[in-house]
Amino acid sequence: MKNILQREIPEELEGIGKLEAFEGAFSKLKKGWMEEKTVPPPNKAKMPHSSKICDTLRDAILKTKPRDGMTVSFHHHLRGGDNLVYEAIKILADLGIKDITLAASSLTTAHDPILPYFKDGTITQVYASGIRGELGKAIAEGVLPKPFVIHSHGGRVRSVHTGKIKIDLAILAASAADEEGNATGAHGPSAFGSMGYAAIDSWYAKQVIVVTDNIVDYPCVPQSITQNYIDYVVKVDSIGDPSKIAGGTTRITKAPMDLQIARLAAQVIEHSGELKEGFSFQVGAGGASLAVAKYIRKIMKHRSIKGSFILGGVTSYGVDMLNEGLFRSIFDVQSFDAAVSSSLLENQYHIEIPAGLYANPFNCGCMTNKLDIVVLGALEIDTNFNVNVITGSEGYVRGASGGHSDTASGANLTVVVCPSFRGRIPIVKKKVHTIVTPGESIDVLVTERGICVNPQKSELKANLESAGIKVKDIEVLAEEVEGITGKAKPIETTERVVGIVEYRDGTVIDVIHQVKE
Amino acid sequence: MKNILQREIPEELEGIGKLEAFEGAFSKLKKGWMEEKTVPPPNKAKMPHSSKICDTLRDAILKTKPRDGMTVSFHHHLRGGDNLVYEAIKILADLGIKDITLAASSLTTAHDPILPYFKDGTITQVYASGIRGELGKAIAEGVLPKPFVIHSHGGRVRSVHTGKIKIDLAILAASAADEEGNATGAHGPSAFGSMGYAAIDSWYAKQVIVVTDNIVDYPCVPQSITQNYIDYVVKVDSIGDPSKIAGGTTRITKAPMDLQIARLAAQVIEHSGELKEGFSFQVGAGGASLAVAKYIRKIMKHRSIKGSFILGGVTSYGVDMLNEGLFRSIFDVQSFDAAVSSSLLENQYHIEIPAGLYANPFNCGCMTNKLDIVVLGALEIDTNFNVNVITGSEGYVRGASGGHSDTASGANLTVVVCPSFRGRIPIVKKKVHTIVTPGESIDVLVTERGICVNPQKSELKANLESAGIKVKDIEVLAEEVEGITGKAKPIETTERVVGIVEYRDGTVIDVIHQVKE
Report the gap between the CA of B367 and the closest CA in chain A (Å).
8
What pLDDT score was predicted for residue A254? Answer: 85
Cβ count within 10 A of residue A146: 17
pLDDT tens digits for range B238-265: 999 878 876 545 677 888 999 999 999 9
Report the gap between the CA of A46 and the closest CA in chain B (Å).
6
Contacts of B181 in chain A (CB under 8 A): 364-365
- Beta-strand ranges (E) seen in B153-206 are 169-174, 176-177, 183-184
State the best of B226, B331, B364, B414 to mutate against chain A, taking most chain A CBs within 10 Å: B364
Q: Do B38 and A41 touch (CB under 8 A)?
A: yes
In Å, what is the CA distance from B164 to each residue of A2, B103, B204? 44, 11, 12
**Bridge-based pairing state of the strands B380-382 and B387-388:** antiparallel
Contacts of B274 in chain A (CB under 8 A): none
Q: Which residue of A has its CA nearest to B231?
A: A364
CB-count burial class (<10 Å; 0-12, 13-18, 19+) for B489: exposed
Report the gap between the CA of A216 and the closest CA in chain B (Å).
12
What pLDDT score was predicted for residue A249? Answer: 56
- How far apart CA B342 and CA B184 sit, in angstroms, is 12
Contacts of B331 in chain A (CB under 8 A): 219
Contacts of B506 in chain A (CB under 8 A): none
- Beta-strand ranges (E) seen in A284-436 are 307-314, 327-335, 350-352, 373-376, 380-382, 387-388, 399-400, 413-417, 421-422, 425-426, 428-429
State the best of A26, A33, A43 to mutate against chain B, taking most chain B CBs within 10 Å: A43
Please report how the helices B316-323 and B287-303 are oriented relative to each other, as an axis angle in degrees rounded to 10. Answer: 10
Note whether B300 and B326 are within 8 A (CB): yes
Report the gap between the CA of A221 and the closest CA in chain B (Å).
7
Residues of chain B with pLDDT under 50: 248
Of B33, B228, B371, which has the smallest distance from its Cβ to A364's Cβ? Answer: B228
Report the gap between the CA of A98 and the closest CA in chain B (Å).
24
Contacts of B28 in chain A (CB under 8 A): 45
State the best of B228, B350, B351, B504 to mutate against chain A, taking most chain A CBs within 10 Å: B228
- How far apart CA A363 and CA A349 sit, in angstroms, is 23
pLDDT tens digits for range B381-435: 999 999 999 999 999 999 999 999 999 999 999 999 999 999 889 999 999 999 9
What pLDDT score was predicted for residue A168? Answer: 98
Q: Which residue of A has its CA nearest to B310?
A: A219
Q: Which H or E run contains A477?
A: helix A474-485
Three-class SS state of A515: strand
The ipTM (two decimal places) reads 0.95
Q: Do A365 and B42 touch (CB under 8 A)?
A: no
Cβ count within 10 A of residue B317: 20
Residue A117 has pLDDT above 80, yes or no: yes
Three-class SS state of B203: helix
With CA atoms as reference, report the closest residue to B331 among B281, B374, B291, B389. Answer: B281
Report the gap between the CA of B508 and the closest CA in chain A (Å).
19
Q: Do B219 and A47 touch (CB under 8 A)?
A: no
State the best of A364, A368, A413 to mutate against chain B, taking most chain B CBs within 10 Å: A364
- How far apart CA B26 and CA B54 sit, in angstroms, is 46
Report the gap between the CA of B91 and the closest CA in chain A (Å).
24
Cβ count within 10 A of residue B324: 11
- Beta-strand ranges (E) seen in A146-193 are 148-150, 169-174, 176-177, 183-184
pLDDT tens digits for range A331-365: 999 998 877 999 999 999 999 999 999 999 999 99
What pLDDT score was predicted for residue A160? Answer: 97
- How far apart CA A230 and CA A76 sit, in angstroms, is 18
pLDDT tens digits for range A209-256: 999 999 999 999 999 999 999 999 999 999 998 788 766 456 778 889
Note whether B279 and B296 are within 8 A (CB): no
Amino acid at residue number B25:
A
Q: Do A39 and B40 touch (CB under 8 A)?
A: yes
What pLDDT score was predicted for residue A140? Answer: 98
Contacts of A356 in chain B (CB under 8 A): 228
**Bridge-based pairing state of the strands A169-174 and B327-335:** unpaired
Contacts of B221 in chain A (CB under 8 A): 329, 348-349, 351
Rg (CA), chain B: 22
Mean pLDDT of A49-72: 98
What pLDDT score was predicted for residue B453? Answer: 98
Cis amide prior to A219 (ω within 30 degrees): yes
- How far apart CA B291 and CA B303 sit, in angstroms, is 19
Cis amide prior to B426 (ω within 30 degrees): no
Note whether A493 and A434 are within 8 A (CB): no
Q: Do B221 and A351 touch (CB under 8 A)?
A: yes
- How far apart CA A177 and CA A229 sit, in angstroms, is 13
Any residues with CB less than 8 A from the CB of B152 and at least 6 apart, and which? B129, B359, B401, B402, B403, B404, B405, B406, B502, B503, B504
Mean pLDDT over each residue of chain A, to the nearest integer: 95
Q: Which residue of B has its CA nearest to A48?
A: B369
What pLDDT score was predicted for residue B246? Answer: 66
Three-class SS state of B462: helix
With CA atoms as reference, report the closest residue to A6 among A318, A384, A449. Answer: A384
The number of helices, as runs of H, and strands, as runs of E, in chain B is: 15, 29
Torsion of CA A75, A79, A81, A87, to 10 degrees: 30
Note whether A470 and A446 are within 8 A (CB): no
Contacts of B162 in chain A (CB under 8 A): 43
Residue A461 has pLDDT above 70, yes or no: yes
Q: Which H or E run contains A450?
A: strand A450-453
Of A38, A221, A229, which has the smallest distance from its Cβ to B42's Cβ? Answer: A38
In Å, what is the CA distance from A54 to each residue of A51, A173, A212, A227, A237? 8, 15, 12, 15, 14
Q: Do B331 and A360 touch (CB under 8 A)?
A: no
Three-class SS state of B60: helix
Bridge partners, residue A210, by sequence: A172, A233
Express as a percent the part of chain A with pLDDT over 70: 98
Contacts of A153 in chain B (CB under 8 A): none
pLDDT tens digits for range A161-181: 999 999 999 999 999 999 999
What pLDDT score was predicted for residue A33? Answer: 60
What pLDDT score was predicted for residue A121? Answer: 98
Q: Do A49 and B412 touch (CB under 8 A)?
A: yes
- How far apart CA B167 and CA B122 sit, in angstroms, is 16
| Helix spans in A37-164 (H) | 57-63, 84-94, 115-119, 133-140, 153-161
Note whether A127 and A147 are within 8 A (CB): no
In Å, what is the CA distance from A277 to each residue of A319, B80, B112, B182? 19, 41, 47, 21
Segment A275-278 long-range contacts (CB within 8 Å, at least 24 positions apart): A275/A299, A275/A300, A275/A305, A275/A373, A276/A305, A277/A305, A277/A306, A278/A306, A278/A307, A278/A308, A278/B218
- How far apart CA A406 and CA A391 sit, in angstroms, is 18
Express as a percent the part of chain A with pLDDT over 90: 88
Any residues with CB less than 8 A from the CB of A406 and at least 6 apart, and which? A152, A153, A154, A155, A358, A359, A361, A366, A368, A504
